Amino acid sequence: MKLKICTLLMVCVAAAIAADKAAPKKAKPAAANKVQQVTIPAGAVEVEPYTYRYTDAQGKKWIYHKMPFGISRAEDKAAGDLKADDSKKDENARLINATTAVEDGDTVRFERPGPFGVTKWQRKKTELNEVEHAVWDREQQKRASRENATNAAKD
């Protein structure tokens, strides 16, 4: 009895699967299946190993990179782009305003709030980068103005 039920169940499942199968899909044209391959144009100039620059007929500048899995193409953004310069200046100004500095002999200790707490580091006065130098100059001006104010109050 159990064997008959199992056999009947398997036949029903097989019939349901056969009915669910749709008619085979029509094949798409070969042109629709092809992916356009990027190639380096004949007039491209190699500027670095595996990196090429090219200006197309419309005047648009492109950078081509040879990579292990093929060639990639990206629009050439000028290094002197004003938006990039402005955003870098804004970022530097934000970092300068958020950072404090304290003198410790021939080194300067810096502190800046970050996403995981206060970030602390120190540098020698001769090795300061642009942002650190601006922070240190600002702190020295603050200290000088406080000393002038206390000296004026004493007089």
Domain count, the chain: 2
Q: Over range 135-145, report the average pLDDT.
A: 91
Q: What is the pLDDT of residues 100-125, one digit of tens each?
A: 999 998 999 999 999 999 999 999 99
Beta bridge partners of 109: 102, 122
The answer to the question of residue 47 being in a domain is yes
Among 30-39, 61-70, 75-84, 87-96, name the most confident range: 61-70
Q: Are residues 149 and 95 in the same domain?
A: yes
Domain that holds residue 69: 37-76
Q: Quick one: 92 and 66 in the same domain?
A: no
Would you say residue 82 has pLDDT above 70? no
Predicted confidence (pLDDT) at residue 83 exceeds the cutoff of 70: no
Q: Which are the contacts of 12, defined by CB distance < 8 A and separation ≥ 6?
A: none
Cα Rg of the chain, angstroms: 34
Task: Report pTM.
Answer: 0.46
Map residue 45 onto helix, strand or coil. strand
